[in-house]
Amino acid sequence: MNHRDLADLREPYDGTPLCRDDLSAHPMEQFHIWFTQARTSGLAEPNAMALATVGPRGIPRTRTVLLKGYNRSGLRFFTNYRSRKGEALLENPYVSAVFPWHPVQRQVTLVGRAERLGDEENDAYFRTRPRGSQVSAWASERQSSRVPNRAELERLYRRFDDAWGADEEIPRPDYWGGFRISRSRWSSGRGGPIGCTTGSVTCSGPGKGPTVRGTSSGCRREPRPRGRIRPHRWEVGFAPPRYD
Ligand SMILES: Cc1cc2nc3c(=O)[nH]c(=O)nc-3n(C[C@H](O)[C@H](O)[C@H](O)COP(=O)(O)O)c2cc1C
């Protein structure tokens, strides 16, 4: 095995180039457009994102979680509050995430703050989960910690599966719930025959229009918007035409 094994592994980037005029003023509206494109393209699990948190000793960790809703206030995902990520977020609410939509030659990344959802929203979402997922939430109270073997996990699952009748409502464990990533700073890169190389676009929020920053040969340069920075901001990086 050597490095040359991968030297010929490359995709032609032939997507439409990303330019300022294509962007919605509010990053969440733009996210909705891109998410819809990713979803309708047929790529697997478009709502899967790699989520990075920073642990108590400043060490970052990344894992996949599923996006389970978004609106103008942000993005939400659900987890076990006692998991490693749950505990990391109690100490340090900052996260970074990437949606790796490679089949459509796009990635969307963000940096933001994750805040715990309230009981009402958690209960409402928990009720929509299939019974098996609800039982799993009970069986994985110790998510992130070591279990002796798979049989032990299965034993736990059966124990909780037997605890409620088939028609009985399973309550949400208090250690299970969601986070909303809000006050985020967004960026996106797209493979394509791009005239604008390694520039960036920022947007300070609704009504303020995206602003081109950095070195960009193919996009207009505009002054930074004045005034208060709104919660959601753009920072769109243009991928160089090729990485090889
Ligand atoms: C496709 C996929 C989706 C996942 N979605 C979630 C999720 O929505 N929430 C979650 O807590 N873990 C999810 N996981 C498991 C996490 O990646 C991770 O292994 C687990 O949450 C423990 O992470 P932690 O120890 O860093 O807290 C998913 C894993 C995969 C492979």
How far apart CA 62 and CA 173 sit, in angstroms, is 25
User: 140: exposed, middle or buried (C-beta count within 10 Å: 0-12, 13-18, 19+)?
Assistant: buried
**Ligand 1 touching residue 85 (CB < 6 A):** yes
Beta bridge mates, 99: 108
The helix, strand and coil proportions of the chain, stated in percent and rounded to the nearest 5, come to: 25, 30, 45
**Ligand 1 touching residue 145 (CB < 6 A):** no
pLDDT value for 184: 75
Q: Which atom of ligand 1 is nearest to the CA of 68?
A: 8
Higher pLDDT, 96 or 233: 96
Closest CA to 217 of 201, 202, 199: 199
Q: Is the pLDDT of residue 214 over 60?
A: no
**Ligand 1 touching residue 142 (CB < 6 A):** no
Residue type, 43: L
How many CB atoms lie under 10 A from the CB of residue 66? 12
Domains and CATH numbers, the chain: 12-237 (2.30.110.10)
Closest CA to 49 of 110, 138, 135: 110
How far apart CA 214 and CA 113 sit, in angstroms, is 25
How far apart CA 199 and CA 214 sit, in angstroms, is 5
Find which of 108-117, 207-216, 222-231 is predicted with most confidence, using mean pLDDT: 108-117
pLDDT in tens, 165-204: 888 999 999 999 999 998 777 777 766 543 333 334 443 3
| Residue 232 binned pLDDT confidence (cut-offs 50, 70, 90) | low
pLDDT value for 205: 35
Residue type, 206: P
CA of 176 to the centre of ligand 1 (A): 13
Q: Which atom of ligand 1 is nearest to the CA of 66?
A: 8
**Ligand 1 touching residue 64 (CB < 6 A):** yes
pLDDT in tens, 11-50: 777 767 667 677 888 888 889 999 999 999 999 999 999 9
CA dist list (Å): 60 to 54, 84, 87, 92:
4, 11, 13, 11
Closest CA to 203 of 74, 18, 29, 27: 27
131: left (phi over 0), alpha (psi -120 to 50) or beta: alpha
How far apart CA 97 and CA 111 sit, in angstroms, is 7
This prediction has a pTM of 0.81
CA of 8 to the centre of ligand 1 (A): 33
Q: Which atom of ligand 1 is nearest to the CA of 144?
A: 25
**Ligand 1 touching residue 65 (CB < 6 A):** yes
**Please, how many CA atoms are within 13 Å of residue 119, restricted to the half-sphere of its CB?**
4
Contact 31, 70 (CB under 8 A): yes
